[in-house]
A and B are shown apart, each in its own frame.
Chain A
């Protein structure tokens, strides 16, 4: 009863209006639920929650080139540290023209370039580092930002982490390092959905006042709702305006796990569970796109 994701030409990378971004986000969310449904595995909750951010970055905010080069000289770079939301990144990359949209149908299958967690091993355009084992992306992004400084490349490095991921000690090693070394071409983003596998982050890890923690470490911190483009886009603009000040930028982004699919929202239960046939249909009914852009 389920159809594969249909081939489609890339969406142009001309900066998009809010209504256009909402259409693309709905399209990406349709891709996500279909991808995880097709293999009965994956991580829809966080993937849906971070969809608006990745759509904003790839279709509005970042300067990037789908003619992929690993070094990304003269481009903004995005690193996904919470690699389990790979479905979102794969969809956004495919819809941007990094690889064919139809390849999304190979997600998590044998011999696919779209591994369960992102990897450079399969040479998938758009991926610059393997991620999945948590806590490593902030260090990698900081190193890439320092390479940009050495190369006199004035573009920006973005990295997304999960909030539960902040329980990894390496994150705080990097959090101490980046301000100390004045890595001020770096925007780190935390997906503050308050959920992790075993339950709410405040019950499991006790993350507490993240703004106070990162400010004490020397970061410029901002907070906004990451599921509304009306608040997300100004927050990303504000984050960019804070670059070059001698300090890195930390965007604590409030999201809802499962955003866009009502029965997946407000719970950690859809962190790593795929919808069944009936649930997929229900999700797709809630994620409507204009006919012209749908598959």
Chain B
């Protein structure tokens, strides 16, 4: 098992803020909108540098999505910022008609996704957002794993023509991907090559998969760990190449099992390469208040849950 040294932990939302600040310097067409959550989204630096290119919308997310669609007419590249819950479920029809169906070049940037939002509880812990967004035609769905990758993804999506959903979160997690990485939309990243099982993880669960890989190595299991930072379009080639070697699969995500990464991988396997699959995610349940670590343990989204899923799926492998 490869080692993944890191010297600091940071929140992925700060990676978004840093990426947006850089775009402010490099791309004059980038504009930003926020629905009364500037501090939470780490947008302060962009706003300080570019006050004329920032629009404070207030607590009016539906209006924000419409404004963003309108700003594209005239060549702007709008980045909207609010919590993942208010970026998706609250404004689904606005995104569907004014952005996705209209093929507008809007970047929907969503923080505090999933259980790790923590103590605020289930009203804010959206676990359905990936599913809603990936169902929309034309929509690209990205869920990076750490600060550096979120920064790189933020910069990369400005050069992608079309609507994008960029999902990130609140807690600090190890910064283990390179600061100078090239972020290629739709291109999975092989973190550890292995032969016994394929672990496909996204977002915060990528680090948990690395921790699980170490535990599995101690048991003599050689796991292939792949970071699926782009859920749509899915890197089918990388996934199929891996499973044809390992013959069994575990997916891991901070999302409902219905509609998430596991669901996309299951569709692909069923069509192309039917193989045993176990999925780590939230099983048809809302979250609740608690610390991020407590919640990830209670809802089975940690390294222990991944190890258990690996053992189960390897036992099923013929």
Q: Which residues of A contact B (CB under 8 A)?
A: 70-73, 77, 119-121, 128-133, 135-148, 150-151, 153, 169-170, 173-174, 176-177, 181
Contact = CB atoms under 8 A, between A and B. Distances in A.
Contacts of A173: 60, 62-63
B60 A147 contact: no
B97 A143 contact: no
A129 B102 contact: yes
Contacts of B52: 150
A211 to B, nearest CB: 22
Contact of B66 (A77, A143, A169): A143
Interface in B76-124: 76, 78, 93-94, 96-98, 101-104
B70 A121 contact: no
Interface in B155-194: none
Given A130-B102, A173-B60, A181-B55, A146 B97 contact: no
A150 B98 contact: no
B71 interface: yes
5 contacts: A130-B101, A140-B69, A142-B70, A144-B73, A176-B58
A131 to B, nearest CB: 7
A133 B97 contact: yes
B65 A139 contact: yes
A173 B94 CA distance: 13
A177 B66 CA distance: 12
Chain B contact patch, size range: 20 to 34
A70 B75 CA distance: 9
Interface string B132-171: 0000000000000000000000000000000000000000
B63 A177 contact: yes
Given A131-B97, A151-B75, A139 B70 contact: yes
Interface of B: 31, 52-53, 55, 57-58, 60, 62-76, 78, 93-94, 96-98, 101-104
Contacts of A128: 73
B70 A147 contact: yes
Most buried by B among A133, A144, A153, A181: A144
A162 to B, nearest CB: 16
Contact of B63 (A73, A144, A170): A170
A132 B70 contact: no
B58 A144 contact: no
A119 B60 contact: no
Most buried by A among B74, B94, B96, B103: B74
Contacts of A145: 70
Task: Enumerate the 3 nearest inter-chain pairs by beta-carbon distance, A residue then B residue, closest first.
Answer: A143-B70, A139-B66, A147-B74
Contacts of B63: 139, 142, 170, 173-174, 177
A70 B73 CA distance: 6
A225 to B, nearest CB: 29
Given A136-B66, A170-B63, A174-B63, A148 B97 contact: no
Contacts of A150: 31, 52-53, 74, 76
A174 B75 CA distance: 21
Contacts of B93: 133
Given A140-B69, A170-B66, A129 B74 contact: no
Most buried by A among B62, B66, B97: B66
Contacts of A120: 101-103
B222 to A, nearest CB: 47
Contacts of B104: 129
Contact of B74 (A119, A133, A144): A144
Given A130-B98, A177-B58, A72 B73 contact: yes
Nearest to B64: A139
A75 to B, nearest CB: 11
Contacts of A142: 63, 66-67, 70
Nearest to B65: A139
Contacts of B31: 150
Contact of A129 (B53, B58, B64, B98): B98
A120 B101 CA distance: 8
Given A139-B62, A170-B66, A144 B98 contact: no
Given A121-B103, A142-B67, A177-B57, A71 B62 contact: no
B67 A77 contact: no
B186 to A, nearest CB: 22
Contacts of B97: 130-133, 136
B309 to A, nearest CB: 41
Contacts of A181: 55
A147 to B, nearest CB: 3
Contacts of B73: 70-72, 77, 128-129, 140, 143-144, 147
Given A130-B97, A140-B98, A176 B60 contact: yes
Contact of A146 (B55, B64, B94, B98): B55
A119 B102 contact: yes
Given A139-B63, A143-B69, 8 more contacts: A135-B62, A136-B62, A139-B67, A139-B69, A143-B67, A147-B75, A151-B75, A177-B57
Contacts of A151: 74-75
Contacts of B53: 150
B94 A170 contact: yes
Nearest to A159: B70
Contact of A169 (B62, B67, B78, B102): B62
Nearest to B69: A140
A140 B94 CA distance: 10
